[in-house]
Amino acid sequence: MEQCLTQRQREIVELAGRLADEFAERAAEHDRDGSFPFENYERMREEGYLGLTVPEELGGMGAGLHDLILAQERLAAGDGSTALAVSMHVSPIGQLASLWRASGDERLADVLRRAADGRLVYASMSAEPGDPTLMSSRTTAQPVDGGFRVTGKKIFGTESAVCTEFSTRALVDDPERGPTVIFFRLPRDVEGMTVKETWDVMGMRATQSNDFELDDVFVPEEDVFHRYPANHFDGTMLKTVWGWAMPTFGAVYLGIGAGAMAFARELALKMKKADNPEVQHLFAEMEVLLETARAVLHRHAHEMETGALYADLPVQEGMSKAVLAKYVATNNACGIVDRALHVVGGAGYFRRFPLERMYRDVRAGPIMPYTNLEAHDLFGRTSLGIEIAPAVSLPDSHRPQTSGIERAVR
């Protein structure tokens, strides 16, 4: 169904659409070769897409979370891999922008200006086996003069092929505060980092999300931008990483679903199948899946933009709502692509058509964090009032001046 958009949103979606249509032409080749789409990054740099979420006063396009979701859905309809890869840049940059708005920190402003003019490509590469909820880390950080020495193995380094710097995490055994998770920035060419070419996978092949190792890497104290006690939910992480990444991942996978649906529609009309009641039923179901997912994503964006989700709710409750946005969008996306395959039939099985790639790409959605299993655990226990982990509240400096719900009503 058509979306109701403001003039500004229409312009952002049109930009994403132009890029998506162009990237779609080379997506099959990158998928087949498992090659990273560097030329797509050049185009996104030229068109200002890499500065999408940088505030306008710092040279960017000023997109908020809602705009970002709309843009990423449209981009992914053409090329899921590029859309997922660039999420790891535009979403963290949007998070840094929200921190800059609260603090006015000049160092953050510098990062954002460099993202706006395309000199900086950011990546968020903190995954490790066994702890996708970021509560702890197997990567260790030893305190040394002026910072830390970090050693560990990381997986799923999306954008490691193109980023200029990235954030990741490690665990410090702090003698005073106890085990503490630290998040820090590293330059991509830092001494002691080695990328392992392990990315030979089912889908999202052009993301080149390779493993990498950090061996005794030095992290200056000033590059540690956040810390919280291990095995806690953290209010600042909800406002930033979870509040932004969950809907952004959701939007990417939903976009793949929307792309599959568009392909199925084109084929159904061409093959004169539109009068078939079964085909009509499949389109009705796909519309319901698409629109309900959009509704949940857009509600989430509204609750983030008013601040209600992270400032007014207990942290575990807010986490549940953030994860719900990703859960609904990624699972509905799989449901849409499955139905699109039924509409298209045998042609959908051929690699010369994009549906075969979309079918594989969309499967990564429910296994990215929060995975379906982790989400069920979070939703079920939160619904029953069971505390999963203690929470660290959002600091007052990160809260909106008035309550989010009041702000929404005004």
| Residue 97: Cβ-neighbour burial (10 angstroms; 0-12, 13-18, 19+) | buried
Q: Of the two residues 114 and 205, which places its CB atom closer to ligand FAD in the complex?
A: 205
Angstrom distances, CA of residue 145 to CA of 72, 151, 221: 42, 16, 9
Q: Of the two residues 156 and 225, which places its CB atom closer to ligand FAD in the complex?
A: 156
Q: Which of 105, 312, 338, 374 binds ligand FAD (CB under 6 A)?
A: 374
- Interface with ligand FAD includes 125 (CB under 6 A)? yes
**Residues in 245-274 that interact with ligand FAD by CB under 6 A:** none
Q: Which of 129, 143, 146, 178 binds ligand FAD (CB under 6 A)?
A: 129
Q: Which of 95, 209, 240, 248 binds ligand FAD (CB under 6 A)?
A: 209
* 8 Å CB contact between 184 and 218: no
Q: What are phi and psi of 165, to 5 degrees?
A: -150, 165
Q: How far is the CB of 23 from ligand FAD (least distance, A)?
A: 17
Q: How far is the CB of 74 from ligand FAD (least distance, A)?
A: 20
Q: Which of 126, 248, 306, 332 binds ligand FAD (CB under 6 A)?
A: 126
Return the sign of the alpha-carbon dihedral for residues 193, 197, 201, 205: positive
- Interface with ligand FAD includes 204 (CB under 6 A)? yes
Could you give the residue ranges of the DSSP H alpha helices within 79-226? 80-103, 106-116
Q: How far is the CB of 2 from ligand FAD (least distance, A)?
A: 30
- DSSP letter assigned to residue 197: -
Neighbours of 384 (CB within 10 A): 7
**Residues in 310-369 that interact with ligand FAD by CB under 6 A:** 364, 367-369
- Interface with ligand FAD includes 156 (CB under 6 A)? yes
Inter-helix orientation angle 65-78/243-270, to 10°: 40
Angstrom distances, CA of residue 57 to CA of 109, 112, 253, 386: 10, 10, 31, 44
- Interface with ligand FAD includes 373 (CB under 6 A)? yes
Q: Of the two residues 185 and 265, which places its CB atom closer to ligand FAD in the complex?
A: 185
Q: Of the two residues 302 and 381, which places its CB atom closer to ligand FAD in the complex?
A: 381
- Interface with ligand FAD includes 240 (CB under 6 A)? no
